[in-house]
Amino acid sequence: MDAASLRRRIERLIQMHSEAYRQDIQNPGFSCMRCGWCCRENFIIRITSEISRPSNAISIFPEDIRLIMKSTGMKWDEIAAPDIYSCLSDGEKIWSIGWILRRNDKGECVFYRKNECTIYEYRPMICRCYPFFLGEQRVEVMHCEGLGNKMTKEHAKEMALVLKRYEIKKMRSYIGIINQLGEKLSFANLRALPRGFSGEVFICDGETISRQGL
């Protein structure tokens, strides 16, 4: 998707009242059980025939990282890692498209401890939206242990608003990344770094381009 298409989608979302998504959220019912299902690796997402990513390789915005830093006192690289499942190579450099929450040796989010999220009050925006995502036409619902629980109209309206804000922010982030990577950004060039990769990666997150060794 090019920048012009993304801008048109942003305009449509801005014009669309979040109330339009409320019923699709309220109908299945939802209440977070804080069970950690989404914090753990439960399945693999197939991106291409060559690329797959763990279900809990969670893409996050720089703003999410800064909020966690402010709330915990942790450093950037203690919270986030380059998205090794969404990389490009121009023959000279490896480019990573954005950041993901760090995971521990067991493949769990580093903030999932003692069977609960330890940053729940300031968790990333994508986590606040789960298990709901905006598709092209309607709200899509992912697997979650909290589905089917009673949900008030007010709670559903609140989640609809967060979902709309997240989608707009995601589209704007994509535009920033397109501007940073230019012609290098091609789906055909997408790759995942091999397990145990060691080297330098340049991370484009829509705000800045960072360099980090792995």
pLDDT for 187 beyond 90: no
Q: How confident is the model at residue 206 (pLDDT cuts 50, 70, 90)?
A: very high
| 46-68 average pLDDT score | 92
Contact yes or no for 182/154 (Cβ under 8 A)? no
What is the pLDDT at residue 194? Answer: 85
The fraction of the chain above a pLDDT of 70, given in percent, is: 100
User: What does the pLDDT average to over 41-49?
Assistant: 88
pLDDT at res. 48: 83
pLDDT in tens, 133-156: 998 778 999 999 999 999 999 999
Q: What are 58-82's pLDDT values in tens digits?
A: 999 999 999 999 999 999 999 999 9
Mean pLDDT computed over every residue of the chain: 92
- Judge whether residue 122 has pLDDT over 70: yes
Indicate if the pLDDT at residue 104 is higher than 90: yes
Name, in order, each residue with C-beta under 8 angstroms of 164's C-beta and a sequence gap of 6 or more.
Answer: 13, 16, 18, 21, 134
CB 202 within 8 A of CB 95: yes
**What pLDDT is recorded for position 204?**
96
CA 113 → CA 60, 124, 173, distances in Å?
19, 16, 30
> 185 or 140: whose pLDDT is higher?
140
The DSSP string of 23-60 is: HHHHTT-B------GGGS---EEESSSS-EEETT--EE
pLDDT of residue 1: 66
pLDDT for 179 beyond 80: yes
